[in-house]
Amino acid sequence: MLVRKDSKIIAVDGSRMAMFKNVGEAFAPVLELIEEHKNPSLRTSELGTDKPGRSFQSKSPHRGTHELTDLQQQEEDRFVTEVAHRIEKIVANTKAGVVLIAAPRALGVIRKHLKSDTSAKLLAEIPKAFGPDEAKSLAKMLTKHEV
């Protein structure tokens, strides 16, 4: 995939967002970190301590439990929703183009919150999680990726 010089690459997962700018050539991108946001990870016990709900059937002695809400996932979804609003502003103010790389679940949440004209302006949406050495590995992945 050719990524023009000065294009922005946004990488997102449930706990962080990193924005890079291509300072290299289109056929050999070199990514420079320009912005990073991290979601402070709280332990589930710090997010809530509820026990599973119980239900009783009036005509039967049977009792059932309700599944616990995944508070960690809710927190990640809240963070990714905030990131989606940030992406709206970035795409509106960028002329060179934006590539979005996100973990599959995070990409689904982002797609729900992006306006259709913003989605149309994205150069590519790539469902892929990224690792701690993201700049070099993302640049390498972008050179091999086909749209």
Give 60's DSSP letter. Answer: S
Is residue 108 in some structural domain? yes
State how many domains the chain has.
1
Domain range for 19: 8-40+70-144
Is residue 1 in some structural domain? no
Average pLDDT, rounded, for the chain: 82
What CATH number does the domain containing 120 carry?
A: 3.30.420.60
User: Tens of pLDDT along 111-125?
Assistant: 999 999 999 999 999
From CA 19, how far away is CA 109, in angstroms rounded?
18
Is residue 115 in some structural domain? yes
> Would you state the structure tokens that stand for residue 138, as one six-digit string?
């993302």
Is residue 14 in some structural domain? yes
The whole-number average pLDDT for the span 93-119 is 91
Q: How confident is the model at residue 134 (pLDDT cuts 50, 70, 90)?
A: confident
Residue type, 75: E
Is residue 61 in some structural domain? no
Asked whether residue 104 carries a pLDDT value surpassing 80, the answer given is yes
